[in-house]
Structure 1
């Protein structure tokens, strides 16, 4: 079987741990029954021994099969990875969702996306990446009693994402340690108002308010100070047609949303200004995890 999972961008400025969307940029996982286990990686992560020796996909896939009462099988795993590793584009969420979905399919269980999402929460406690990885689109996510509740809005294809991917990572674990344990009432109201407005903007198609709605006082500036060039990325994006420009997850990638007609121009500016960074012009994904071939 072949299952694919899209890249994601989470937080989206003020939506810390609760807003995320899906990008049309997929990791593809191919699994074939075999007489012995083997792992081959093509693309991102290729040649890194740690992904061959202690592979998260394989561990979660076999653990989920064991939960279904299936054990003792061997497989040939082929991973074709497009999503940059440790750059805030949901590479870990793609692995988690892909592994669980693959186990469901192999066990001949219905691909119940809600169950897959709740199972994914075991491995990723923040739902803002795993939810769009499962469902696609723009998502508002809430966790209550070990269950994810979400509302999805499809993203029109008149938009593109211009992703700027720096040549270094920002550790999610370390960057969380730089965040305060408490926030002021004024900062909290600031973020609640912006994240609420962003949700309504996606629901009602009020795209002109996205620049205002994507401002944040919880995490972005603190994380970007670890890599100050990101402030320049955001400034250039907003000055050249981006409707919103936000740190993707905990970084270091930057997510920029614009009309499709403006995307290549913005990408060209980024490529000229930041020649050592990668720049991707991507569509938005409204499907989430998919079975591509059986």
Structure 2
């Protein structure tokens, strides 16, 4: 079987731990039944021997497969990793969701995405990345009584993503340590209103409203201090066609959404101004994980 699991961008400004979307940018995994265990990695992590001995995908796959079948069968795993590690593009969520979906498929069971999401909570207790990784599109999700509850909508082909990926990795746990312990009533009200408006903008496909909605007073500026250049990325992107320009997850990637006709121009401007960053122009993924 062949699995494609998408990159994601979460938070999207004020939607802390609840808003996310899927990008047309994937890790691919080919799994075959085999007489012995075999693993190969190409792309991200291929030079890291630790990932062959302690591979999160294989750990979750085996745990899920044994739970479903009661057997420990042997497989070969061929990983083609495109999603950068620890850059705020949901690499861990892509792995978690993909491993669970693959185990269900190879166990001969229906790959039900609600079931996959709820199983993914064992490994990731925030739904903002695992939901769009499984479902695709734009997703607003919460955890209620150990279940992911969500509303999803497709993203129009009229808009595209332009992402800036710095060389610097940022650990989510370290990034969270920069968050405030208390928020003022004014900042709390600001974030609730912007998160609500961001959700409404995506649901109604009124993307122009994102120019107003996609701001945050909780986490972005605090996290961006570790890569100060990101403040310039945001300023320049918003001046050159970005409808929204936000830290992707906990960073260090910066996510920009613009109309498709403005995407190439924005990509060129960001490449010229930030030559030390990798800039990608991407479509959105409305399917989530794909198994064939």
Tell whether the 8 Å contact from 1:28 to 1:81 is kept in structure 2 after alignment: yes
Poorly superposed stretches of 4+, deviation over 2 Å: 69-72
CA distance, structure 1, for counterparts of residue 117 and residue 72 of structure 2 = 26
Unaligned regions of 5+ residues in structure 2, if any?
Answer: none
CA deviation profile, 1:22-48 (whole Å, cap 9, x unmatched): 000011111111111111111111111
Give the CA deviation at 1:72: 2.7
Match status 1:265 vs 2:265: yes
CA distance, structure 2, for counterparts of residue 260 and residue 133 of structure 1 = 22
Give the CA deviation at 1:158: 1.1
CA distance, structure 1, for counterparts of residue 203 and residue 176 of structure 2 = 30
Residue matched to 2:181: 181
Give the CA deviation at 1:70: 3.0
CA deviation profile, 1:35-79 (whole Å, cap 9, x unmatched): 111111111111111110100000000000111133231111001
Residue matched to 2:251: 251
Give the CA deviation at 1:120: 0.5
TM-score calculated relative to the size of structure 2: 0.98
CA distance, structure 1, for counterparts of residue 180 and residue 72 of structure 2 = 47
CA distance, structure 2, for counterparts of residue 204 and residue 175 of structure 1 = 32
CA distance, structure 2, for counterparts of residue 18 and residue 3 of structure 1 = 25
Residue matched to 2:91: 91
Match status 1:161 vs 2:164: no
CA distance, structure 1, for counterparts of residue 41 and residue 223 of structure 2 = 31
SS at match of 2:69: coil
Residue matched to 1:78: 78
Tell whether the 8 Å contact from 1:62 to 1:71 is kept in structure 2 after alignment: no
Unaligned regions of 5+ residues in structure 1, if any?
Answer: none
CA distance, structure 1, for counterparts of residue 280 and residue 68 of structure 2 = 39
**How is 1:1-294 mapped onto 2 (pairs within 5 angstroms)?**
1-292=1-292
Q: CA RMSD in A?
A: 0.8
Give the CA deviation at 1:3: 1.1
Tell whether the 8 Å contact from 2:65 to 2:72 is kept in structure 1 after alignment: no
TM-score calculated relative to the size of structure 1: 0.98
CA distance, structure 2, for counterparts of residue 65 and residue 32 of structure 1 = 14
Give the CA deviation at 1:182: 2.0
CA distance, structure 2, for counterparts of residue 9 and residue 252 of structure 1 = 11
